Amino acid sequence: MPARRCVQPAVRCALLCLALYALAGCATRPAAPPAGFAAGSGHPAAGPSGRAQGATCPQPCTAALQAGHERGRAVYQARALLNRTHSEIYKLQRDRADLEQDKHDRQAALVRNDLPPGARVELLYEVHRIDTQLGILGERLETLEQQLGFRQAQLDRLEK
């Protein structure tokens, strides 16, 4: 098996330049890397130390690159917020299913004839407490589902 070769710094620089130009919407790329872009050691633009002299964006593309970056960041943040909302809704739905099962189990225990005298009252209180929690959970789910719709619409607007 042949050994893998590392991509030379000059090649990485050229690929990075092409990617930046594509993101910035530049129609063509310059014939040589602009001054200030990184170049491999031994390359004339690398400077005497063989290191880049600073990574700057070519002047014509700076505004387009910045706008593309900000737009991409806004989309990323909107997706992250949407995903967090989905996760929270899923967690609350699981919690609601657990509470409903717990309520069902306690209601089934109420009909047993062998309950001690105070146990029936305790079970009724627990069923009431679970009902209260289910109500609070339902309100929170309703709020999150409204937020989910709003956040999805916001993401759709950003992706257009």
CA angle 60, 70, 30 (to 5 degrees): 25
Q: Say yes or no to pLDDT of 7 above 50.
A: no
| Cβ count near 21 (within 10 Å) | 20
Between 101 and 41, the more confident residue is: 101
| Alpha-carbon gap, residue 122 to 106, rounded angstroms | 10
| Alpha-carbon gap, residue 56 to 58, rounded angstroms | 6
CA angle 124, 126, 128 (to 5 degrees): 70
| Token pair in block for residue 99 | 């509470």
Q: Percent of the chain at pLDDT above 90?
A: 45
Write out pLDDT tens, residues 53-84: 445 666 667 777 888 888 889 999 999 999 99
> For residue 125, what are the CA distances in angstroms to 103, 106, 121, 147?
11, 10, 6, 33
Q: Mean pLDDT throughout 114-140? A: 93
**CA 17 centroid distance within chain:** 27
> pLDDT band for position 98 (50/70/90)?
very high
Between 100 and 14, the more confident residue is: 100
| Token pair in block for residue 20 | 């930046």
| Cβ count near 37 (within 10 Å) | 21
> pLDDT band for position 135 (50/70/90)?
very high
Write out pLDDT tens, residues 13-33: 566 666 656 665 554 444 455
**pTM higher than 0.85:** no
